[in-house]
Copies of this chain bind each other. A is one copy, B any other.
Amino acid sequence: METKMKTVILIGALGKMGQAALSGLGKHKVITAGRSGNVDHIVDITDEQSIEALYAKVGHFDAVVNTVGVCEYAPFVEMTEAQWMTTVMSKMMGQINLVRIGQKYIADGGSFTLISGILNIKPIPFAIADATTSGAIDTFVKCVAYEMPRNTRINVVNPTVLTEAWDVYGEMMPGFEPVPGKLVGKAFERSVDGFITGEVIFVDA
């Protein structure tokens, strides 16, 4: 069986998670998007109009892979409403809006793959907003899969920290084992090229 070549919109393509996802999308035509830098399209997932414009400009596409979501980090007792809302409007509502708006544009049988993160399963200090919104996205994907239109699918990749990002995050994550981006890329590939839907694809060691 050969995998059909698909047009995939990859959001956050230049980031470490985006590069990890890209490693699993080698068979496809990848259209890159992000907030800045050398990408095919600039998009801000916290802005509905920006999302709508991205989909309209791309035209036909079979898959959306999102690897971004801004989170604020602080101890719970110090975290402000503004810090909570930055996280909620990006990692949670930004991703939900990518699907809510994108379901109107995506090809029949297409797929969405979102990103959460292992801290909802393995909590650490400073990460309560990240964990809470990851829990929201994991739940959203499991529940919304039943009502996606036109045979479209949806999954979320929930990875632990990347080997490529261990120098940045390692110190705040004692006892965690990083995983290589290439393995996380496989998770994105399994979502885009498989038939699964409503799944939280954990990549942990």
Contact between chains at A133 and B136 (CB < 8 Å): yes
Q: Given A88-B88, A93-B84: A77 and B147 within 8 A (CB)? A: yes
Contact between chains at B120 and A76 (CB < 8 Å): no
Within 8 Å of chain B (Cβ to Cβ): is A23?
Answer: no
A124-165 interface code vs B (CB 8 A; 1 in, 0 out): 010110011111101110111011110000000000000000
- Output the nearest chain B residue to A130 by Cβ-Cβ distance: B143
Tell me how far the C-beta of A9 lies from the nearest C-beta in chain B, rounded to whole angstroms. Answer: 19
Size category, A interface: 35 or more
Q: Which of B92, B103, B128, B144 contacts A128 (CB 8 A)?
A: B144
Tell me how far the C-beta of A75 lies from the nearest C-beta in chain B, rounded to whole angstroms. Answer: 6
Within 8 Å of chain B (Cβ to Cβ): is A100?
Answer: yes
Q: Tell me, in angstroms, the Cα distance from A84 to B89 when the chains sit together.
A: 11
Within 8 Å of chain B (Cβ to Cβ): is A86?
Answer: no
Q: In chain A, residues 81-113, which have Cβ atoms closer than 8 Å to a Cβ of chain B?
A: 81, 84-85, 88, 92-93, 96-97, 100, 103-104
Task: Give 15 pairs: A residue, B residue, CB < 8 Å, sorted on A.
Answer: A75-B147, A76-B103, A79-B100, A96-B132, A120-B143, A123-B142, A123-B146, A125-B146, A128-B143, A131-B140, A132-B139, A133-B136, A135-B138, A136-B136, A136-B139
